[in-house]
C-alpha cells in the first residue's frame, strides 16, 4: 500500500533534516511519500520531487558502499540532474526546495570522486 503525505512543506523540512543527519534512505522515503500525491495529481512539482528522491538514494548507495557504487550512483543521480532546473523562484515552497538543491550540490562536491 502506498503511503502518501499531502504535507509537502513538512516533508521537505524533514528531508533537509535527514540529509544533514546523513539519513539518506529515510530522506528518500519521506520525499517519496510526498511525491505520490503530486504524481497522481500530475502536479508540476512531481518531477522535481522525484529528482530529490533519487538524489537521496544516490548518497545512500555511496554511504553503503554498494557494489558498483560509481555506476549506480551516477545512474540514479541522473534523475536529479534532469529535473533540478525545475527549482525556480515562484514555485511553491521555493526556499525549501532551493535549500535541498544546495545541500545536494554540496554532497555532490563531497563525493565528486565517486560521481565523476
Euclidean distance between CA atoms 67 and 104, whole angstroms: 22
**Three-state SS at 33:** helix
Domain that holds residue 78: 8-115
| Residue at 1 is within a domain | no
Stated length of the chain: 116
Compute, in degrees rounded to 10, the torsion defined by CA atoms 103, 109, 112, 113: -120
Asked if the structure places residue 33 within a domain, the reply is yes
2: in domain: no
Render pLDDT for 43-88 as a digit per residue (tens, 0 to 9): 999 999 999 999 999 999 999 997 899 999 999 999 999 999 999 9
CATH number of the domain residue 44 falls in = 1.10.3450
Q: Is residue 3 domain-resident?
A: no
pTM exceeds cut of 0.85? yes
Say how many domains are in the chain: 1
Q: Cα(24)–Cα(45) distance, rounded to whole angstroms?
A: 21
User: Is residue 85, in this structure, part of any structural domain at all?
Assistant: yes
CA 77 from centre of chain:
9
Structure confidence by residue, pLDDT tens digits, 12-42: 999 999 999 999 999 999 999 999 999 999 9
Amino acid at each position: 500500500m502506498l503511503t502518501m503525505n499531502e504535507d509537502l512543506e513538512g516533508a521537505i523540512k524533514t528531508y533537509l533534516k535527514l540529509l544533514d543527519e546523513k539519513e539518506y534512505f529515510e530522506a528518500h522515503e519521506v520525499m517519496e511519500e510526498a511525491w505520490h500525491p503530486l504524481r497522481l495529481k500530475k502536479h508540476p512539482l512531481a518531477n522535481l520531487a522525484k529528482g530529490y528522491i533519487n538524489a537521496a538514494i544516490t548518497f545512500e548507495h555511496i554511504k553503503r558502499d554498494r557494489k558498483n557504487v560509481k555506476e549506480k550512483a551516477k545512474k540514479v543521480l541522473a534523475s536529479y540532474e534532469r529535473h533540478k532546473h525545475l527549482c525556480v523562484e515562484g514555485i511553491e515552497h521555493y526556499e525549501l526546495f532551493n535549500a535541498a538543491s544546495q545541500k545536494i550540490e554540496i554532497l555532490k562536491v563531497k563525493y565528486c570522486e565517486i560521481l565523476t
